[in-house]
Structure formats: C-alpha cells, structure tokens
Structure 1
C-alpha cells in the first residue's frame, strides 16, 4: 500500500496535465488468438490500458473506446486484454484498423516505488507503517514519487542521489524525534517533531513520532 495518493503527488511538484501517456499504434490484431501486436509494449500483467482509433480507423470487435481494460502479456511483442484485472482474454471478433493503445499512468508505480524506498529508510521494527500515515511520511512519499515521474518526462531538476539523501535525512531525524529544520524541512512547519517531546506512549505518538 502506497503512503500517498495521486492528489498528494500533484501537491508536491507535478503540474496537473504534465504527465504524458503517449498513445502507440498497434501493429496487428489476431482474432484467432485474441492477441494484439505491439513490439516492446512493456505491459505488466494487470496494467490498465485504454484504446481509441486513429482518424479513419476502427477498434476491434469487443473493445470500446475509452473503456479501461487490463493487459495480459503474452511476450514482449504480443498481449491480450481482459475486462477485469486477472480476468480472461476478451474475444476480439474483428481486427479493426489504426488502433491506438494508451499505456497506464506512471503515477501509481511511482508511489509504490517511493513507499518501498521509505520502508528501506526507516528502522526495520517500525515498517510497514499503518494508516493513517504520519503527514511527514505522506509528504516525503509524494515528493519522491513526484521526482520519479518528472524524471521519466525529463523535467526533474535534481539528481536521484540528492532527492533520496534529503528524504532519508528527514525521515531519520523524524524517527529519532529530533527537530526537522532547514532545507530538508517539509513546507508545513507544524510537522516538525520536538527534541524535547516524550519518547514513549501516546504523548510521543501525538508529536508524530514512532513508538
């Protein structure tokens, strides 16, 4: 389970509408096997995809424009689609023409990546965290995921090393109950933990610290 959601990511550096989802032209459709050909499609099982027809084209029988389907990879060049994640391949009754497939948004994968990174940064005895997640963890997850998405679009302005180092320093200080100050501090100063805060019981928890 990711420690942040898409809305958090947009609040931390990713402008809405800036994440491209480039449509790709399907090379062919085999109605006998219900396979669509797209060399190097890169889909994982269960990836959500949509379809539309390029000007003058038509979708294969069994598919509807704009409806979400779920990828069933056959190999690197062929895939099928299901109506539900993990479901059976849809029967494609006609081949259609000029078919465009729109890949999944990179945001969910970026949030999962950031959450796993945070688990690695925090002491082993406190992970995985349970909801509701501490605001500082949500913010850090969103910032890391925002960097990942911006890096994929070529818009990141910092290196991965710089971003992860800042995040780790912030989380280590938070997990120890030290004040969070300076360049690593999140925008909401109220999230900073107090070095004088009690370290045990509900009082320490109320400061945002880990028991």
Structure 2
C-alpha cells in the first residue's frame, strides 16, 4: 500500500523539492551498487550510530539523508517527497522548507541512534526527513484527499482516503515496527520514521499558528486552501 498522488495542487514551482529529488538521484548514481568506488563513497557517507555516540563521523548525520540502499528504496522515498513536499514548500517558502527538511532529518537520525546507540549497521535514506514532511502535511492538510494503490498478490485497486487516515496508518505502522523488532529495526529505521514524523508536526506548528491555528482548520475544514484536483477515472470498455 502506497500513495500515488494527492488532490492538493501547488500554485508555485516546488524548486527545493525538485532539487532534493535530483540530489538524491545523483547520489544514487554516484554510489551505484556494484561499483567499487561507489560502494566506498556510500560506506564513508553512511550514518553509524556507534560512531556518533563516540563523537566520530559526525558528518554522517547529514550525508546519510542523500544515500539509498537500492533502487526501490530510492523510488519509494522520492515518490513520497514528490507527492507531499510541494505543498509544504508552498506554505513555508523555499528557504524555510529546506531548513525544515534537514532539521527533521537530524531529529529522525537522533531518534534512531537513541533506540540503538551501539549499532554498527549503517543507516541511510531520506525517509526520516520525508517523515517530517508527512508530519507537517498532516498538521496543515489533514483532510486533503490522497489516492492509495493497494496491491494484494496479483490484485490491485486505487482508493482515495483523507490524509489523516493514510498518514495516521503509516505512523501507526512505524510505531508497531519500532516496538516489535530489535533496535536495528530489521533493516528498517522505524524509530527514525516515527521521530521524523513527530518532529515534522512540531516544526510545522509555527506555520500552523501563523495561518490562524484552529481558525485555519475552521476556515479550510482541514482541506487544501485552494480547489483540489479532480482526476478523471479511466472508463471501462466493454466488448460488443
């Protein structure tokens, strides 16, 4: 189950969101799996919790946000950033959004390090920072409509859900994963996701209050403050 689009168009060009996606793709190409040079760079720039707790390789707190462990890892993260990032960038402005993104990523890394401070498993990926984007999006647009693609074995179907349902379920799954697996997360940084999500909600709070706080929700009913997109469904073609 993953989102494929939201009904929340942006009225400005999300330059920072596009740039972050481009940098992540460029770093994936630079650290292409199977390349000896790429693997060396990847290992050098990854985040190692045990190193951080011993005041070593501190730069990994930032550089790990632009590395990915595989093509699907990259594609999934960039899809989430593409769908949800433009709306927050529009609301915050480019510079503030970039600061928000990086700070959420740092908090997410801190949450994962706190969960497993002596782990030597490298941590990579933009998902902690993107989780912050999801938390901020939920605060600002809880009733924006999001199209979800659900795949079950060979069957698939698209559902449209309010953002609070989709993102609330996503956060619940991260918390469940954090409490049911060991500190390493079984290869998934659940606590980074949960920490980033909560950080995003807190960091977006000043924006929410500037927009009027609860009055913003009353004015927009939790929906985007401009007309939502409407997508035409593919018509069914019957055999004559």
Q: Greater helix share, 1 or 2?
A: 2
TM-score when normalising by structure 2: 0.26
TM-score when normalising by structure 1: 0.29
Higher relative contact order (CA 8 A, sep 6+): 2
* Larger Rg over CA atoms: 1
Q: Greater strand share, 1 or 2?
A: 1
